[in-house]
Structure 1
Amino acid sequence: MKFDQIETPDELKLYLDSPFVYKSTVKCFYHYTTLDSLAEIIHGSSLKFSSLATMNDILEENVFGKYCNEKFFCLMVSKTENFGMWAMYGGLTKTKEEIDRNPKAINVKICFPASTLKKLCEQGVRAHLVAYADFAGAYKDSETEDANKGYLYRCGAKKTSQFFNCDKEQFAGYLKDWAWQYESELRLCLKKENPNDNKPSIKSFAPDFLKDLKVVPSPLISKEECEIKFSEVLKQKDYELGIDINNLFVVNDYYGRVRPKDLEILKKEIVF
């Protein structure tokens, strides 16, 4: 089934719940973060899961958040470079002075092979895709509304659109506002032990999930400089990692090719 062939809420849910079926040609999924968070992931062989209440989509926080019993670790599904993601989550607008002053805040893109994500899903988490929608009246939530009656959602794919009256509890975590469509998101999901717990949760995994990870530095910094800065971060944290840093980082093909005027254009385009 192709996304633009979906006609019912059940078909939409089936599609989103089958990421490794419908995205079988995607070999790698990406997470944008900082060197500080990268050190925590590798040192603890763990990932940090966040609740919808802390997400940057107002719709998720205010409308879907109270119906969601899971926390999420977010990744991007794409075969090409995404400068929107670098601008929003990858520190592409940071200055050289900021990078030199705070190595922990240097941004990177972690590449998770699909095979690695499948292994993680065998250790207590599940994965699903996200659909992006225009929400008719979604910001007009009311206390008297039946919790099981959703709004009318239009989920678009290319030139086609579908309309659904979705169950907000069923689709919490699955639907985001259309403005975020550039994220092309896949989420790893961890069930909440307490429905009212909105604090981040750390989940550890078998350490072998780290062996196939690769890390791409921000286009603002070279591979060699990023390795040096990461060593500084590890020293500050007093962490010793059982991996070869030289084999962890790979060259960003766009290093040195992003001009200041390109960043100004990105700043203007990434507005919500």
Structure 2
Amino acid sequence: MSKLKSFESLKTANELKDYLSNVLKYHQPKAYFHYTKLSNVIKIYESGTFKATQIKNMNDRLEKDFASDCKEFYTCLMGSVVENFGMWAMYGGIGTHLFSNENKTDDAYVKIKIPADKLKEFISESTTVCMRSIAYTNFNSQIKKDKKPSIIRCGTCENKETINIFDDCLHGFVKDNAWSYEKEVRLVSQNEFIDISSILNTFTVIPSPNNSIQECKMIFKKLKCNTTLKCEPRFEENDYYNLVINNK
């Protein structure tokens, strides 16, 4: 594997694209996370697939205006193991409480934990799916062509070169700083459904940190009692919730 150029030294749009396409082969967190509803998790375990979407159907208006013609399909993951309340809030689940109503479990929000080494192995063996990191910058500064260069960030790295992030080759690679809390990594496919059945048994389902132990049990019961799943789910309580409980 050839050496990856440092992020700080990138000077062109094509160099930035190449970096974002390959950096995860060299540097990865311990796990990736996919935030969603329990009803969607059941569909994932029933079908053995992630349902991917195109940029024109995603929630970032700036990226849609910038790259809506992109034909690729994406499943978005968070590339950080640190608990992220912004992600829970954006995807609706931080305030969801079930109490004793088991009928509400479909609306419960959870995150799927995917071991990075298993996902890396899956990608290396796939001929139809790849994985890329996302860079963040100030879109407004680039649009106005401010004299002060707009800093481009990826993880903890910064690039202060004048790279044109509106170059066609960067469609699906760059988002505005406003979304940087997502620490996004994308599974990229030419198809709407990504077959992840070969690594599904390595996934772990984790409830929102605001769900009580009793609510967690209801969520796990709802998923485990479904008889049409491809494999038996693994469960994990939310570390943040346990941290709160243990410090009371």
Secondary structure of the structure 2 residue equivalent to 1:16? helix
Give the AA of the match of 2:24.
Answer: F
**Which residue of the partner structure matches residue 202 of structure 1?**
193
Instruction: List per-residue Cα deviations over 1:176-225 (Å, max 9, x = no partner).
Output: 11100111111001125xxxxxxxx22334x3311211121101224563
Q: Cα 1:214–1:33, aligned 2, differ >3 Å: closer, same or farther?
A: same
Change (3 A) 1:166 1:225: closer
**Which deviates more from structure 2 when the two are superposed, residues 110-119 or residues 74-83?**
110-119
The yes-or-no answer on 1:13 pairing with 2:17 is: yes
Distance 1:234 1:253, change over 3 A: closer
In structure 2, stretches of 5+ residues that fail to align are none
Residues 116-135 of structure 1 aligned to structure 2 (within 5 Å):
116-121=118-123, 122-123=125-126, 124-135=128-139
Please state if 1:42 is matched with 2:45. yes
Are residue 106 (structure 1) and residue 108 (structure 2) matched?
yes
Query: For residue 73 of structure 2, what is the aligned residue in structure 1?
Result: 71
Contact 2:142 2:150 in 1 (8 A): no
Contact 2:83 2:240 in 1 (8 A): no
Aligned position for 2:211:
221
Find the partner of 2:229 among 231, 241, 250: 241
Residue range with higher mean Cα deviation, 112-121 or 42-51 = 112-121
Tell me, in whole angstroms, the C-alpha distance in 2 between the residues paired with 1:43 and 1:127: 23
1:147 aligns with none
What is the RMSD of the two structures over their aligned residues, measured on CA atoms? 3.0
Q: What residue identity is the alignment partner of 1:240? A: T
Select which of 83, 88, 92 maps to 1:86: 88
Corresponding residue number in structure 2 for 1:269 = none
User: What is the rounded CA distance, in whole Å, between the counterparts of 2:168 and 2:242 in structure 1?
Assistant: 46
Partner of 2:34: 31
One-letter amino acid matched to 1:56 = N
Q: Deviations over 1:18-66 (max 9, x none)?
A: 1323423x12111111111111111111111001011111111122112
Instruction: Note if contact 1:43-1:241 (Cα within 8 Å) is conserved in structure 2.
Output: yes
In the TM superposition, what is the alpha-carbon distance from 1:253 to its structure 2 partner? 1.8
Aligned counterparts of 1:12 and 1:39: Cα–Cα separation in 2: 37
Q: Equivalent pairs: percent with the same residue? A: 33
Structure-2 residue corresponding to 1:172:
171
Give 1:167 deviation, angstroms.
Answer: 5.2
Task: Determine if contact 2:105/2:218 at 8 Å carries over to the other structure.
Answer: no
> Compared with structure 1, are the counterparts of its residues 13 and 98 closer, same or farther at alpha carbon in structure 2 (3 Å cutoff)?
farther
The structure 1 residue matched to 2:8, chosen from 4, 8, 20, is 4
Q: TM-score, normalised by structure 2?
A: 0.80
Distance in 2 between residues matched to 1:91 and 1:17, nearest whole Å: 31
Q: How many pairs does the alignment contain?
A: 233
Please give the secondary structure, in 2, of the residue aligned with 1:17.
helix
Q: Paired residue for 1:186?
A: 185
Q: Does the CA contact (< 8 Å) of 1:39 and 1:234 recur in 2?
A: no
Question: For the structure 1 residues 138 and 168, does the alpha-carbon distance in structure 2 shift closer, same or farther, using more than 3 Å as the test?
Answer: same
For the residue of structure 1 that corresponds to 2:150, the secondary structure is: strand
Q: How much does 1:116 deviate?
A: 2.4
Question: TM-score, normalised to structure 1's length?
Answer: 0.74
